[in-house]
Amino acid sequence: MYKPFLEHLETELNRRFSLQRRPIPEGLELRASNPERHPATIQSWCYQCPELRKVRYTYIDAGETSQILNSVIYPSHHYDLPLLGVDFLSFGKAKNLVVMDFQPLFQEAAYLEKYTAPLKALHDRYPDLNQGLEMKSYDANQYFSKYLLFAKTDPKTVQTLVFEAFKEYLQLYLQLLDDAKPLSNSIAIQRVRQAQKDYDQYSAERDPAAGLFKGYFGHDWAERFLYEFLFEEAIPLVTSVR
Ligand code: BLA
């Protein structure tokens, strides 16, 4: 379902950057579930280059049951740009959830104006992908912009409209990155570093995928995947004292 998206992302990134592999901790790069229970594989890729500190994407293939593409681009700490967040999920034919945003590191008006206002025109061209859905796990006012794509849709729309929107959002994001001037002030750089770290902590604690990872791949693997790969700067909360 989302393989063409993954291929497009890979092609565009490789066209613009000289990406180097960024190591994925042992055992987390590829994993298969117990095929007798619910067959699924999860595979991840991770890269870096001078402009991008961490580019990661993950594909879950559970055949007809679920197809998921999740990706986050973290720019270098020298750029205060939003992160690019992508979460495309299909469960059977019936449930297709697509989310994509320039995820702001800060919520100050001037920052939002600078980095998310350019998205508005694009956003407004995809009314069918902006359904004003309510978020249950996340707070829409933290690390999300007003111009995200957030929709429940059908497989046909995924292959057409969502794919178009994905390409355009990615293109605009890479354009913003091209135009960005690196920060030189060490306090400003430190602030970006902290904000990216806070994003990891926030996301690890709220990720609605945790249950899905546990169901397919087991509790221990799921915890490692969340805290050692997806959101490696997050510190696990102590959830039980024995
Ligand atoms: C929702 N994302 C979800 C859900 C799952 C995932 C299982 C719940 C779907 C449901 O409602 O049944 C899946 N999340 C994943 C996977 C990974 C992950 C597979 O991190 C990692 C491999 N989520 C993101 C990013 C964005 C994002 C980068 O990881 C930003 C675009 C958004 N996901 C997002 C939102 C929801 C969601 C807004 C809806 C949750 C809500 O209602 O609060």
Does residue 242 carry a pLDDT above 80? no
Q: What is the sign of the dihedral through the CA atoms of 134, 140, 145 and 148?
A: negative
Does residue 112 carry a pLDDT above 70? yes
pLDDT of residue 202: 96
Does residue 94 carry a pLDDT above 80? yes
Residue 36 binned pLDDT confidence (cut-offs 50, 70, 90): confident
Q: What percent of the chain has pLDDT over 70?
A: 98
d(CA 137, CA 44) in angstroms, rounded, equals: 23
Mutational test site, ligand 1, from 96, 99, 133, max ligand atoms within 8 Å of CB: 99
**Which residue would you say has higher pLDDT here, 1 or 53?**
53
Question: Strands 30-32 and 95-103, how do they pair?
Answer: unpaired
Residue 159's SS3 state is: helix
pLDDT of residue 105: 98
Distance 181 CA to ligand 1 centre (A): 31
The atom of ligand 1 lying closest to the CA of 150 is: 38
Rounded to two decimals, what is the model's pTM? 0.96
d(CA 120, CA 133) in angstroms, rounded, equals: 18
pLDDT of residue 239: 60
Residue 185's SS3 state is: coil
d(CA 69, CA 81) in angstroms, rounded, equals: 22
Give the DSSP H/E element, type plus range, for residue 101.
strand 95-103
84 in Cβ contact with 103 (< 8 Å): yes
Mutational test site, ligand 1, from 28, 44, 68, 87, max ligand atoms within 8 Å of CB: 87
Instruction: Report, as an integer, the average pLDDT of 155-174.
Output: 97
Instruction: Report, as an integer, the average pLDDT of 213-218.
Output: 94
The atom of ligand 1 lying closest to the CA of 143 is: 30
